[in-house]
Amino acid sequence: MKSTTNHRSVWRTIGLTVLFVAAVALVAAIVVGVRAFHRQHGEQTGDGSDSWVSAMSDLGQVALNPRSGFQGKSRINILCMGIDDNWTNSDVVYTKGARTDTLFMLSLDMDNKKASILSIPRDADAEITGIQRHNKVNAAYATGGPRRAEATVANLIGVTPDYYIVIKIDGTKKMVDALGGVDVDVEHSLDYDDSWGHLHVHLLPGHQHLTGDQAVGFARYRHGNHGVTPEDGDERRIYRQHVLVRAMLDRFKNIANVIKPNELIDTAMSCIQTDMTRTQLFDLGALFHGVNQDDIETAQIPGTDEKGSGGMYLMKLDEDKMNLLVDWLLRGNETSGRAVTPVVVRNGTKVTGLAMSAGETLKACGYTDVHVGQYTKPGVVATTAVIDSGVSNRVAAREISGFLGISPAAILTEKPKPNKFGWTPPPAITIVLGTDYATAHPPATSSSSATGQTASTSSGQ
């Protein structure tokens, strides 16, 4: 017979989503809700709850100078944590010893009104502050709460959080339901059941309108009932969480959805624990309520799983890429953002060295992760295309086009497509160079059959 003290952690992750919304979009929704409330009820507040009176009072405090709550700050970094549930064998939920199964830094550029997210894998190898031994980074919260988590993350990535936000267990479900659901594109079937962990995920591919429960499943899914699937693992899970972030933010910004603004505000405020004041949250709402979901730059720190001396698998983070991502997303260094943006250049013509020449130009401009080659489809490409399949750097396609002298009209946006094995490749900027580019920017050593010279081969790049 199992001991009643045995427990199982709910299989895993409450959304990065609501955490982001709690810090920015959720707070923006509070501001939107207050405005909607005024439209519905005029200036009278007597029919609202005490929390509404307080909310409107807070809004009045920050309306004239919303940066007053962050004196001397041009950028703030907020450590956002989603904790898991634990369950006893009697099916009773409790949170003692809960770990942060979603962990990321939200960085807010106060001057330029930009937001970015850097996700930290929950299994990342980290020295836990105050214990001085290595463990998964998500153990920091379990052993010392948000302050130990802050110190551990600061030591791991080299940036000290200014504030923290912890999302309560059922925050994602509550917020999505309060919004009337969200719309997402499900790329592959998600099919998983964990009765003990209280998780049931059954979503088909295609455009879906998700309820709160379905949104939680969409964000938490990590593997399926029937063998390996293209959606397995933390990388795809974090990707779906980022998708949900954008979907919720888009829903928040649609004022037509704020049918019960008082309910939305109260729900939002009940979902979080933070060391920020209520007025500071309203400050953020006033500052960032206009943020466009397409402009949010998101990335996750890559790494490889390794078995430690104690038999535990830990993720060894790629320190070089981590440092570049931190420098870009948490400090605002755009040069580092270029260095971590993958670019593929394909020569769609018979002009020798065209892709190589373009690649060298991009490297000189800071895009150092460049791969060149010949376009494999038959025939000659007439018109150049710059294809963005969803890279983290939201300005990369426009910037790359400018560096190469390509018209912005050539930029196309496409979602990554599964390969023949059903797996979705990582996003990249893919440039297919056509004869229009070859004419305008011939490489110094080019040769072409059109001039009577030796034609380049498919390996000419």
Q: What is the pLDDT of residues 218-262, one digit of tens each?
A: 887 777 777 777 787 777 877 787 788 778 877 766 644 444 555
% helix, strand, coil for the chain, step of 5: 40, 25, 40
Closest by Cα among 418, 248, 446, 252 to 350: 446
Q: Rank 161-165, 168-172, 176-180 by mean pLDDT and report only the highest.
A: 161-165
Average pLDDT of the segment spanning 81-104: 60
Do 153 and 18 fall into the same domain? yes
pLDDT of the residue at 421: 63
pLDDT at 209 over 60: yes
Q: With contact defined as beta carbons under 8 Å apart, do 343 and 367 qualify? A: yes
Do 403 and 425 fall into the same domain? yes
Average pLDDT of the segment spanning 153-160: 97
Parent domain of 75 = 7-335
- Both structure tokens of 418: 């599964």
pLDDT at 286 over 90: no
The owner of tokens 């809700």 is 33
- C-alpha distances in Å from residue 315, one per residue of 45, 123, 175, 309, 329: 52, 6, 31, 13, 21
Residue 187: helix, strand or coil by DSSP? coil
For 328-361, the pLDDT digits (tens) are 999 999 999 999 999 999 999 999 999 999 999 9
pLDDT of the residue at 445: 62
pLDDT at 435 over 50: yes
CA angle 154, 157, 160 (to 5 degrees): 30
CA distance 216 to 197: 13
Do 43 and 158 fall into the same domain? yes
CA distance 438 to 349: 8
- Helical H runs in 227-295? 234-252, 261-270, 278-288
Domain assignment present for 460: no
Out of 283, 303, 335, a domain closes at 335
pLDDT: is 80 or 197 the higher one? 80
pLDDT of the residue at 107: 93
| CATH at residue 418 | 3.30.70.2390
pLDDT at 263 over 80: no
User: Average model confidence (pLDDT) for the chain?
Assistant: 77
Do 316 and 410 fall into the same domain? no
Q: Which residues, in sequence order, are CB contacts of 145 under 8 Å at separation 6+?
A: none
Q: Rank 131-145, 146-160, 294-308 by mean pLDDT and report only the highest.
A: 146-160
Do 77 and 184 fall into the same domain? yes
Concatenated DSSP letters for 405-461?
T--GGGEEE------TTSPPPPP-EEEEE-HHHHHHS--TT---GGGTSPPP-TT--
Q: With contact defined as beta carbons under 8 Å apart, do 402 and 318 qualify? A: no
Predicted confidence band of residue 409 (pLDDT cuts 50, 70, 90) = very high
pLDDT of the residue at 450: 37
Do 318 and 386 fall into the same domain? no
pLDDT of the residue at 457: 40
pLDDT of the residue at 24: 44
- Cβ-based burial of 35 (10 A; exposed 0-12, middle 13-18, buried ≥19): middle
pLDDT of the residue at 265: 64
For 314-331, the pLDDT digits (tens) are 999 999 999 999 999 999
CA distance 144 to 135: 13
pLDDT at 26 over 60: no
CA distance 110 to 251: 23
Do 293 and 352 fall into the same domain? no
Do 328 and 427 fall into the same domain? no
For 194-206, the pLDDT digits (tens) are 765 567 888 899 9
- C-alpha distances in Å from residue 83, one per residue of 40, 76, 152, 191, 275: 36, 22, 16, 23, 16
pLDDT of the residue at 405: 97
pLDDT of the residue at 130: 93
Q: With contact defined as beta carbons under 8 Å apart, do 315 and 125 qualify? A: yes
Domain assignment present for 458: no
Out of 296, 314, 335, a domain closes at 335
pLDDT: is 425 or 243 the higher one? 243
CA distance 330 to 446: 42
Closest by Cα among 178, 171, 176, 130 to 154: 130
pLDDT of the residue at 96: 55
Do 331 and 346 fall into the same domain? no
Q: Rank 64-78, 271-285, 403-417 by mean pLDDT and report only the highest.
A: 403-417
Lowest mean pLDDT among 170-184, 256-270, 279-293, 349-363: 256-270
Which amino acid makes up residue 433? L
| CATH at residue 330 | 3.40.630.190
